[in-house]
Amino acid sequence: MPGAHQHPPIREADRKQPPFHLYLLGCALVAALGGLLFGFDTAVISGTTEALRDKFALSDNLLGFTVASALIGTILGSIGVARPTDAIGRRGALALLGVLYFISALGCAFAWDWWSFLLFRFLGGLAVGGASVVSPLYIAEISPARYRGRLVAITQFNVVLGILLAYLSNYLIGTLHLGEHEWRWMFGVMAAPSAAFCLLIFLTPQSPRWLVARGRLAEARAVLQRCGSDSGSVEDEIREIQHSMDLAHHSLREPFYCRRYRTPILLAVAISAFNQLSGINAVLYYTPSIFKMAGAGVESALLQSVIVGFTMLVFTVLAMAIIDHFGRRNLMIAGSVGYITGLSGAAWAFYAKVDGLLLLVSLLVFIAAHGFGQGAVIWVFISEIFPNRVRARGQALGSFTHWAMNAGISWTFPIIAAAAGWMAFAFYALCMVGQLAWVLLVMPETKAVSLEKIQEKLGIE
């Protein structure tokens, strides 16, 4: 109609659905290196617990605190990274986290006493907590919906790869018989990938949604043109992002804990809490110790840890391949059933004092269930359910819950296991029955839905 307001014509090039291409994948892989360092830092201590106990004369309680010291940093890092991530951008935050990883790796390797070791593990924890927020958040914001699940899941793949590399590195260093300084080498090797991460992150762009929030629309268009859009039109995507933020009626600094965001807040807290109530990180931190409790030798325990890490990697890759087709809920259902089976078997193995084969098989079922279910889904799901304007704070809340629960579980596990190992695994199995009920009754499906449409689906204005 003449005189009516008309939008500028949309070019045919904008309408074309861009193919999945190497630039988008490359950006996701670089950002997910934060996850690889997260996994390595999380698991590397599993091969050093006995050496740390002897070196610093630690009781069961102090050993638990030493392992949990990084988690204190992780808790603070996860909740404290949201504001810097909004202020300097997702890419800048990832670069700072890489520096912390590097300092932590060298500091732990050259620690001169228990207190200095705790300090550098704490700094590593800050980096892990921050990476658990920023890496999946960044990948979710650069990815079209049809690829988002598998691309964000690259973070979890790298977490698992980092865990496997930590186990493998510990095993190889253990075979060198380096004596009393062996544990220092186990921590120090992480300095090399940390330095690489710091450099590579500057080859990636800023998040287009962060750029839109800052009014830098030309830069946001350029990123969307290279990474792809959900509608096939860059201009339509820009308008949809602007509408979802609705900064004329909302503010990037508005209160987060309010009725408007209650649904995603409860969903994020629930999935994060259940993730740790499975006992996954207690198993990862103490894998060699668990196998030694069942009668395995030191080298055998380290080798079995490698098998555990490889199993998780295989099932994480399988989950990545189907998460955008099979759906988040279905993976969680299958994983919950596997959790209950594996944990029940491990509890029985300790209770009945049967041979170590049952324990190994049960733990492999448990680890496979984690890789296929919670491990693949948690960071994808949390990165999807919050509106653009509060996504960093929402991701931070989910990560904070995850790491706070992790600290409690990891600190208490050696104490409970020393009294009766079966009780810990039985408790985790019971919690996973609760997770299965939550998934069946409460958890929404988010596959193949744009971030802005998920906001509408959850009824958020």
Per-residue pLDDT reduced to its tens digit, 141-169: 888 888 888 888 888 788 878 888 888 88
Residue 179: its pLDDT value, please?
A: 79
Task: With respect to residue 3, please indicate whether it lies within any of the assigned structural domains.
Answer: no
Q: What is the chain's mean pLDDT, rounded?
A: 84
For residue 76, give the amino acid letter: L
Domain holding 305, by residue range, is 24-457
Report yes or no: 382 and 317 within 8 Å, Cβ to Cβ: no
Alpha-carbon distance of 437 to 150, in angstroms, equals 25
Estimate to the nearest angstrom the gap between the alpha carbon of 157 and the chain centroid: 9
From the CA atom positions of the chain, what is the Rg in Å? 22
Question: What residue has token string 């932590």?
Answer: 104
Residue 5 pLDDT greater than 60, yes or no: no
**Contacts of 90 by beta carbon, 8 Å cutoff, 6+ apart:** 31, 134, 137, 138, 141, 206, 207, 210
Alpha-carbon distance of 318 to 84, in angstroms, equals 34
Q: Which residue has the higher pLDDT, 16 or 435?
A: 435
Lowest mean pLDDT among 253-257, 341-345, 423-427: 253-257
Residue 298: its pLDDT value, please?
A: 59
Task: With respect to residue 13, please indicate whether it lies within any of the assigned structural domains.
Answer: no
Domain count, the chain: 1
Q: Is 185 exposed, middle or buried (0-12, 13-18, 19+ CB in 10 A)?
A: middle
Residue 31: its pLDDT value, please?
A: 92
Alpha-carbon distance of 100 to 127, in angstroms, equals 6
Residue 51 pLDDT greater than 80, yes or no: yes
Residue 15: its pLDDT value, please?
A: 43
Task: With respect to residue 434, please indicate whether it lies within any of the assigned structural domains.
Answer: yes
Task: With respect to residue 397, please indicate whether it lies within any of the assigned structural domains.
Answer: yes
Question: What residue has token string 């490698």?
Answer: 306
12 pLDDT band (50/70/90 cuts)?
very low
Task: With respect to residue 303, please indicate whether it lies within any of the assigned structural domains.
Answer: yes
Residue 427: its pLDDT value, please?
A: 92
- Six-digit token string for 310: 């490889």
Residue 407 belongs to domain with CATH number: 1.20.1250.20
For residue 140, give the amino acid letter: A
Alpha-carbon distance of 48 to 170, in angstroms, equals 8
Lowest mean pLDDT among 65-79, 104-118, 287-301, 366-380: 287-301
**Contacts of 289 by beta carbon, 8 Å cutoff, 6+ apart:** 46, 49, 50, 301, 414, 417
Alpha-carbon distance of 378 to 332, in angstroms, equals 9
Task: With respect to residue 420, please indicate whether it lies within any of the assigned structural domains.
Answer: yes
pLDDT digits (tens, 9 = 90+) for 386-398: 987 888 899 899 9
296 pLDDT band (50/70/90 cuts)?
low
